[in-house]
Structures are given as C-alpha cells and as structure tokens.
Amino acid sequence: MIVRRLVTALSLLACAGCAKSPGIYPVAGSVTYKGQPAEGAFVVFQRQGADPATEQTIMGVVQPNGTFTLDYGSLGKGAPPGEYIVLVRWKYDSSLPSARSVREVAARPDRLKGRYDDSKHPLLHAVVRAETNVLPMFELED
C-alpha cells in the first residue's frame, strides 16, 4: 500500500506542470473493491452545491493497479479546489474497442448496483486543495 501511494505521488509530481488552466490542481487516488483494484471503474467528482448539468465533468478511470488521476476535459488535468461528492460507476467489461462500444458499455449494468453512483445520497467525499493532491484510498464494499 505504501508503494502504491509512493508511485501515485511520484506520478503526480512528474505531471505537476500538466494542468492547462490556473486554479486546476493535480488529483490522484485509488479505488479498490473487496481489496482488489477496481480496474475500469469511472470516478466522477461533482462539486458540492453545483449543478452537474452546467459544469464540465471531472473524472478519471481506474487503472489496473487501482490508481486514477482526474481530468477536467479541455481545462486540464486535475480539479479546482473545493469539496466534492465522489461517484463511482463500474460497468461490466468496460473495454472500448470502438465508438459504437461506448453506447454499449453505457447500457451495461453497474457492478456496484448504483450504490456509489447516487448524487442525492453520496457515500464518498473528497476535498481538493490548491496543491498536488493524493487522496486516501476509496475502499468500496457491498
């Protein structure tokens, strides 16, 4: 676990200059489910109190080692400082070999049965600070 955090921290430091917009700070973390990496899960950050319909999506995809970094689309890598609810969507077989598959994957059931994808009753929260952020691990369960 210490090695995983060290790898995540080092990758963030290497990418400290990756953000394109002022006020966007690198954010990395990890997600496990029953102690195993939640590879392929989508991690979505929604600013608390903001309308997700009017804000650009801040998200990352969990890698095979369980880590993710946030992407703020055209605004850069990371997120603005603030308090966030964190949603996790994990579709069965989320590999995307073609554009048509994106629609197919979206229609697939969530492995977590929507438990971590309810913005009205979020189970996960995070705080992004005006610095390089390495978040505590999100450990998902049934």
Residue 56 burial (CB count, 10 A) = 10
Range with the poorest average pLDDT among 18-22, 82-86, 105-109, 134-138: 18-22
Tell me the two tokens of residue 15.
């990418």
Fold topology of 2-140: Immunoglobulin-like (2.60.40)
Tell me how far apart the terminal alpha carbons of the chain are, to the nearest angstrom. Answer: 22
Q: What is the pLDDT of residue 51?
A: 87
Q: For 24-45, what is the mean pLDDT? A: 96
Q: Reading across the β-sheet that carries 124-128, which strands appear in turn? A: 58-61, 42-47, 82-89, 124-128
pTM (predicted TM-score): 0.78
Ranges of each domain in the chain: 2-140
Q: For 60-83, what is the mean pLDDT? A: 96
Nearest to 75 by CA among 20, 4, 8: 20
Rounded Cα–Cα distance for residues 63 and 128 (Å): 21
Residue 88 or 100, more confident: 88
Indicate the burial class of 6 (C-beta count within 10 angstroms; 0-12, 13-18, 19 or more). Answer: exposed
Q: For 3-28, what is the mean pLDDT? A: 59
The answer to whether residues 78 and 70 touch, using CB atoms and an 8 Å cutoff, is yes
Tell me the residue ranges of DSSP E strands in 39-104.
42-47, 58-61, 67-69, 82-89
Residue 64 has pLDDT above 50, yes or no: yes
